[in-house]
Amino acid sequence: MTVTSARSTATQQQARMARARDFSFIGRLCLDFAQTGDMGWGTRYERLTSPSELGRWLTRCPLHVAVASVTATDLLRATGLRTAIWRTAQALLAGDKPRAADIRRLNVDARHPPLVRALSPDGTSMRWHQPSLDAALATVAQDAVLLFGDSQQRARLRRCENSGCRVVFFDDSRPGARRWCAANRCGDRIRAREYRRRHTGTTPSSR
């Protein structure tokens, strides 16, 4: 493989990842939510393209919460919180001070009453008690407050080492040495690239 073709393959991979049709859940609620945005790739990579898509994300995310209706105004509120989480994570990873407006925004949403669980009459299952969008967003915002505000959790905030990937994740591995957003996503790609480089002498693209 020539350097040029390796580069174009890497670019195609990158575009595929950015254009992934459905939501991905890497494992930390607030970061998974933050990554429904375009992540700096451009607006065509936006995942929450309508209020109903926000509703669908909520049912598919680890909260598995169904809210009665999601309006265009709700979507605006949600994406505002999402931007605040995304930018704060980026700032902290870069060692910069987060924007005051983003912190304010996070705190405003985190102050609302969060989702609460209720036990079923037979005591063997549970459901959300009167779930609402406000409560769901508050739960996401609280998760971000905990992640950023707790020094031990913040120390495990990572950016995927695949430079063609912009995923930010929480490293919950015991040694705390996780390098990629997901082994079967970027880990396999990087290992395959390193293998090719060792065995063919190909200079890989930096992406």
Shortest Å, Cβ 102 to Zn ion: 24
Q: Tell me how many residues contact Zn ion (CB under 5 A).
A: 6
d(CA 85, CA 28): 12
SS3 116: coil
> Mapping DSSP to helix (H, G, I), strand (E, B) and coil, where does residue 77 land?
helix
Helices and strands counted in the chain (H then E)? 8, 4
The smaller minimum CB distance to Zn ion, of residues 7 and 159, is found at 159
Binding mask 108-147 toward Zn ion (x if CB under 5 A, else -) reads ----------------------------------------
Are 81 and 105 contacting, i.e. CB atoms less than 8 angstroms apart? Answer: yes
What tokens were used for 168?
Answer: 């930010």
Go through 77-110 and write b for each residue having 16 or more CB atoms within 10 A of its CB, e for each that does not. Answer: bbbebbbbbbbbbbbbeeeeebeeebbebbeebb
Q: How far apart are alpha carbons 173 and 156 in whole angstroms?
A: 9
Site string for Zn ion, 148-167 (x = CB under 5 A): ------------x-x--x-x
CB of 32 to Zn ion, least distance (A): 13
Nearer to Zn ion, 23 or 134 (CB): 23
Which of residues 56 and 179 has its CB atom nearest to Zn ion in the complex? 179
Which two structure tokens, joined as six digits, stand for 129? Answer: 């008690």
Instruction: State the nearest-atom distance from the C-beta of 198 to Zn ion, in Å.
Output: 21
Is 181 a binding residue for Zn ion by CB under 5 A? The answer is yes
What is the distance of C-alpha 159 from the center of its chain? 11
Interaction of residue 103 with Zn ion, rule CB under 5 A: no
Q: Is 35 in the site for Zn ion (CB under 5 A)?
A: no
Any contact of residue 186 with Zn ion (CB under 5 A)?
yes
Of the two residues 81 and 168, which places its CB atom closer to Zn ion in the complex?
Answer: 168
Nearer to Zn ion, 162 or 205 (CB): 162
Beta carbons of 187 and 180 less than 8 angstroms apart: yes
By CB under 5 A, name the binding residues for Zn ion.
160, 162, 165, 167, 181, 186
